[in-house]
Amino acid sequence: MLPGIKPAGVCVLMIVSISLLQGAEEPASVKNGWAAQPQGKYEFLQAPYAADEEAAIRQSLPFRRIKLQRFGQPDILHGGRAVNEYVEFHANGKALLHAISGSNRDGVYTGTIDLRNYARLCLLYEALIQEAGTPEKFGHEIQSSHPVISELTLTFTGSQPDRIHRNDFNFGDFKFWVFENVFGNLESRVKWEKVEE
């Protein structure tokens, strides 16, 4: 009986060894430390809140204003002017689009942004800054590269000075690109109304 057990034991040891070796070859998973559910000042995103709580929630958010300005190369279809426009989202719900030049929507437009969407934008920025390590590592501009640049300006709710990040369209920071795409998605949902000049 013992001789029959020995080959079976060797077989089991080989299977265990092979599976351990295969497991060692797989790369270790990278954890970014992001919470699966918003916590702290963003916890309200997980549940309904009363209408009388909205003003206090808006004041608790870290940024009073988030502004994204885009500078681009000359647009031949619009008189050869370089694209220069900016969109501002404010904690109070106000949205402003100012197309300075080179855009198919030149002029000033206003709209509103939902509290939850604004808060999600604040949360995303804070998570991406945490991922970057420091604010200085968010965004990247190469002076001799393509002239399409985006500039993000965050105005804090407190007395801190504005924080500005710039990113190059072709060779910039991927984290900035993610933020800009979410920002653009929210911008496209705003019902813009042109301001009469």
- What is the pTM assigned to this prediction? 0.76
Rounded Cα–Cα distance for residues 123 and 135 (Å): 14
Give the pLDDT confidence score for residue 197 in this predicted structure: 61
**CA-to-CA distance for 177 and 88, rounded, in angstroms?**
17
Q: Which of 105, 116, 10, 112 is nearest to 53 (CA)?
A: 116
**Model pLDDT, residue 82:** 59
| Residue of 100, 137, 95 whose CA lies nearest to 115 | 95
Q: Render each residue's pLDDT in the chain as its tens digit; 197 residues.
A: 445 555 554 444 444 444 444 444 444 444 566 777 888 889 999 888 888 999 999 999 999 999 999 887 665 555 555 568 899 999 999 999 998 765 667 889 999 999 999 999 999 999 999 999 999 999 987 766 556 789 999 999 999 999 999 998 777 889 999 999 999 999 999 999 999 76
Sheet architecture: strand order including 193-194:
163-168, 149-156, 63-75, 81-90, 94-101, 107-112, 193-194
Domains of the chain: residue spans and CATH: 43-190 (3.30.1560)
| Coil, strand or helix at 121 | helix
